[in-house]
A = this chain, B = another copy of it.
């Protein structure tokens, strides 16, 4: 930690300046300690409200299950998510019955997005989970469930170039349009995963608004006001 004490690298300040610098340093330490306490208290508030919100999110998920194709409709109506959905993926997402976003208990360390699926012709998993966590270096990293694709159904393989062409560009990654499952399985830059952020910060807080819009634009009046 920083201190204005004398040491190898100390410059020659006069005694009064040196004393003032040490006192500034002490002040700065008090300010830093208060900043840390503020962060801790804010974290506690966030944790408290995460707990309070949880039963409503669970209730909401139960209700959503009653509505056929709720999630695929919301995803198709969301401008950024629909942009990465290809036709077969859209078909696949008809089997998506539940979405959950969970922040880790200490919030800052990460979150996970869970996709629950019915029996479907594409893969054997019931739950696909993509998870973001701060690595030991402090940088965000992601990992996701290995998808057990059924024979010939691997949707991440539909957009790859033929092997010959891949070989030609061997030093570059082959050009591959970004799709939902290529997003899900990509961990190249977890610190800039815009789709995960859109799901966590925009879709999850209010999926109803995206289910209700028929166009790409959000209709602020929703289903029409009651009065």
Contact = CB atoms under 8 A, between A and B. Distances in A.
B41 A223 contact: no
A11 interface: yes
Nearest to A18: B223
A45 B48 CA distance: 14
A66 B7 CA distance: 22
A119 interface: no
A208 interface: yes
Nearest to A16: B66
Interface in A1-37: 1-11, 16-17, 20-21, 23-25, 27-28, 30-32, 34-35, 37
A121 interface: no
Copies of this chain in its oligomeric complex: 2
Contact of A3 (B10, B49, B59, B223): B223
Interface string A175-212: 00000000000000000000000000000011011001
B63 A20 contact: yes
A225 interface: yes
A219 interface: yes
Interface stretch (A50-58, A89-97, A108-116, A155-163): A50-58
B9 A224 contact: yes
A222 interface: yes
Interface of A: 1-11, 16-17, 20-21, 23-25, 27-28, 30-32, 34-35, 37-38, 41-42, 45-46, 48-49, 52-53, 56-57, 59-60, 63-64, 66-68, 205-206, 208-209, 212, 214, 219, 221-226
30 contacts: A1-B225, A3-B226, A4-B208, A4-B212, A7-B224, A7-B226, A9-B222, A10-B223, A11-B223, A17-B68, A20-B64, A21-B67, A21-B208, A23-B59, A24-B63, A24-B64, A24-B67, A24-B208, A27-B56, A27-B59, A28-B206, A28-B208, A30-B56, A31-B60, A31-B205, A34-B56, A38-B46, A38-B48, A42-B42, A42-B45
